[in-house]
Structure 1
Amino acid sequence: MSVQPGWYVDPADTDTRRYWDGEGWLGAPIPVDAVPPDGPPPVEPPPAPVTPVAPAASGTPDPATVVSGGPPQPGPPPGYGPPPGYGPPPGYGPQSGADPGSGPAAGPPGWGPQGGPPGWVPPGGQPGWAPPPGHPGWSMRPPEPRPHGFVLAGYGRRFVARLIDFGIVFALNIVANGWFVWRWAQEWAPYWREIFRRAERGETSAEGLPLPGEQANSLLLVILLIAAALWLAYEVPAMAANGQTVGKRLMRIRAVPIAADQPLGMVRSLSRWSLLGLPTLFWYCAGIGLVLQLVDALSPLFDHPLRQALHDKRAQTVVVEVPHGVASTPSNDRNQPPGDTP
């Protein structure tokens, strides 16, 4: 997912806020409680180049730092040389009887240890420069986003919460859909009895099987419509109010918008449910709806870094943990600046 450009809490330092241009951080950080300016920060002028200080002059000039016909040239700063213990491997040096000055030196002129002395500038950057995430030189794992200061909900909690919600919706269907399911099963009963009878005799012929009537298809459509309506009535209003169903409340997780810590509202909640609940109607078409729902349920396992399911991406929401002692209902302050992390 591509996060829109804007001022966000720096995941590496939650006390500051920085500008995200859609691909990386831009400009210097500001205090998290400061009001961010409109648009990106002004471009900072490049720092002045660091001029190395020449060593103190001595009475006798060093031949290594004097160029024939010119003034003495400054050499490396004091202490700038190979690290302690550095040296050629055993047997690597001037041959026996050779000039003591021959053979490989500790390093080429001006060579110094990695990292350099104070004031050393790494190639391609200024003092304090560090490679951004994804750069070949990046050696640390970027910090996990904390939308609005909350920890992202784990897959286990989300799975258990969804199982609880499915159990509740299934119980509601037993009450509201029980009679229709029983009538649909009666329509198919002669067909399955004949299938089992022929299987016991070892018969494989499918000729003459008693097929269910047209009423079976109508009953199945009614069953799916009622099931989808019960699911919508159970989930959408609860998610719109505080981002929690019964299962999410028991597992102490809730869904929040990426833009701000506020209730989802009916429009966002309905948009979120549509990718998850509406495919129930397509169970009528050879179970295609069940496949779509399975893909949506597994999608958080492959989304990084926000662990969004497909229905989360559509509604621009994330699922976070609710710490103990923190109210489950989000604040409804729509005037505060966005505080989420990309």
Structure 2
Amino acid sequence: MSVEPGWYVDPADPDTRRYWDGGGWIGAPIPVDATPPEGPPPAEPPPAPTPPAVPVPAPAAPVPAPGAPGAPGVGGAPAGRSQPGRPLPGQAYPWQPPQGHGHPQGPPPGWPPGGWPGRPPEPRPHGLPLAGFGARLVARLIDFAVVFALNAVVNGWFVWRLVDEVTPYWREVFRRAMAGDTSTDGLPQPSEQAGGLQVVILLIATALWLAYEVPTMASGGQTFGKRLVGVKVVPVSADEPLGFGRALRRWNTLGLPTLLWYCCGLGLLLQLVDALSPLFDHPLRQALHDKRAQTVVVQLPRNRRAAPGDGTAAQEDRTDPSGDTP
């Protein structure tokens, strides 16, 4: 799994950030609470050349007599070949690490390329644990209750008019079903206003949902439900507010299908798939709307739920720095 380049918390030193270029850490670290610069850090100046060390001549070893053990050519090891357990000149022993500089290739800590001796550690974006599906579901249900209450106030009259239009049709269908009559002749049909009322109701419901969720998510990453449960939405790349554009992209994937509810429930089906998608996504548990906006949902510490968003939560909940991931 590839990670986009950017500034992330250094797992080796949680009090600093470093730049991940997609293959390794580069540049000097900066304090974790400092604002990182745009793009990668400036290139470091090359180290000053050091004068080569003058080799000290070693005392000459006595040359073994021909035929003696260790003598080259005759009776000993062939010329140009190493003895068992000894490398040739210029080669390293098998247990010596390879020489070289630079950072190891592959994903950052938390997403190892190889296997783990057991279950791999959970990613901790910006030092915070990922929110569980249960907490996310409770927060979403609370938000739905708030939006439903807003619709009851703003959309109530249109809903009452629609119910008044379709009630005669469904009352007659139910009466015939109870009498065992399956005919459809003579059923009272709703007027042409019924279709227009459906469109108006869905447009108002979608607009109320957008007005409730997008501004609060853009500024603080939390709706009323998320604030009560103690979860927060943050970008994958940096610990910063979502902004209006990212919050709108995140809501569009889940909220716009509301306009398709009248198409045999197609919109509701799309929203159900989106809502269940975190159960099948690893390791960041991202829903489809999270993937589009490049966000993750994290669980805030209990002592920080009252005032989230000031950028210090990551410093107070780093019980496992080795699991920090960008």
Say yes or no: TM over 0.5.
yes
Asked if 1:341 is matched to 2:325, the reply is: yes
Alignment partners' CA distance in 2, 1:141 and 1:66:
55
Partner of residue 120, structure 1: 95
Equivalence for 2:130: 152
The whole-number CA distance in structure 2 between the counterparts of 1:277 and 1:192 is 30
Question: Where does residue 9 of structure 1 map in the other structure?
Answer: 9
Superposed displacement of residue 207, structure 1: 2.6
Matches within 5 A, 1:1-342: 2-11=2-11, 14=14, 20-22=20-22, 24=23, 26=24, 31=29, 33=31, 38=41, 69=74, 71-72=76-77, 74-76=83-85, 120=95, 135=113, 139=117, 141-326=119-304, 327-331=307-311, 341-342=325-326
SS of structure 2 residue aligned to 1:218: helix
The one-letter code of the counterpart of 2:6 is: G
Q: Quote the offset at 1:39 in angstroms.
A: 7.4
Separation (CA, whole Å) in 1 of partners of 2:228 and 2:115: 43
Q: Distance in 2 between matches of 1:318 and 1:288?
A: 26
2:121 and 2:28 map into 1 onto residues whose CA distance is 19
Paired residues of 1:238 and 1:244 also in contact (CA < 8 A): yes
Q: How much has 1:135 moved relative to structure 2?
A: 4.9
Tell me: higher relative CO, structure 1 or 2? Use CA pairs within 8 A at least 6 residues apart.
2
- State which drifts further: 298-307 or 1-10: 1-10
Question: How far 1:192 sits from its partner (Å)?
Answer: 0.9
Distance 2:72 2:219 in 1: 79
- Are residues 216 and 301 of structure 1, via their aligned partners in 2, closer, same or farther at CA, if it must alter by over 3 Å? same
Residue 110 of structure 1 corresponds to none
Deviation by residue 1:116-148 (Cα, 9 ceiling, x = unmatched): xx96158xx779x99966656654554332222
Separation in 1, partners of 2:26, 2:247: 36
Does the 8 Å CA contact 1:188/1:216 hold for their aligned counterparts? yes
Report the Cα distance in structure 2 between the residues aligned to 1:322 and 1:65, rounded to whole angstroms: 69
Give the deviation of 1:289 after TM superposition. Answer: 1.2
Distance in 2 (alpha carbons) for counterparts of 1:289 and 1:156: 23
Amino acid at match of 1:164: I
Taking the aligned partners of 2:12 and 2:122, their CA distance within structure 1 comes to 9
CA positional deviation for 1:330: 3.5
C-alpha deviation, 1:14, in angstroms? 3.8
CA deviation map 1:66-118 (0-9, x unaligned) = 998353453348xxxxxxxxxxxxxxxxxxxxxxxxxxxxxxxxxxxxxxxx9
Question: Partners of 1:224 and 1:302 in 2: how far apart?
Answer: 30
Deviations 1:238-274 (A, max 9, x none): 1122111110000111111223222222222222211
Identity %: 62
Structure 2 counterpart SS, 1:325: helix
CA distance in 2, matches of 1:214, 1:236: 34
Q: Distance in 1 between matches of 2:27 and 2:14?
A: 11
Q: CA deviation at 1:214?
A: 0.8
Measured in 2, the distance between the counterparts of 1:229 and 1:221 equals 12
CA distance, structure 2, for counterparts of residue 8 and residue 168 of structure 1: 36
| RMSD of equivalent CA atoms | 4.0
| Separation in 1, partners of 2:195, 2:208 | 20
**CA distance in 1: counterparts of 2:70 and 2:181, whole angstroms:** 102
Unaligned runs of 5+ in 2: 46-63, 87-92, 313-323
Q: In structure 2, the residue corresponding to 1:8 is in which secondary structure?
A: strand
Contact 1:11 1:144 in 2 (8 A): no
1:43-73 deviation digits (Å, cap 9, x = unpaired):
xxxxxxxxxxxxxxxx9xxx99899835345
Q: Which amino acid is 2:280 matched to?
A: F
**Structure 2 length-normalised TM:** 0.70
Contact in 1 for aligned 2:125/2:236 (Cα 8 Å):
yes
Q: Quote the Cα distance in structure 2 between the aligned partners of 1:267 and 1:137.
A: 38
TM superposition shift of 1:171: 1.2
> In structure 2, how many angstroms separate the alpha carbons of the residues matched to 1:233 and 1:143?
38
What amino acid is aligned across from residue 192 of structure 2 in structure 1? Answer: E
Q: Which amino acid aligns with 1:216?
A: A
Using a 3 Å threshold, how does the CA distance of structure 1 residues 255 and 226 change in structure 2: closer, same or farther?
same
> Which residue identity is paired with 2:95?
W
Letter in 2 for 1:38: P
1:325 to 1:137, Cα distance in 2 relative to 1, 3 A? closer
TM-score (norm 1): 0.67
Paired residues in the alignment total 281
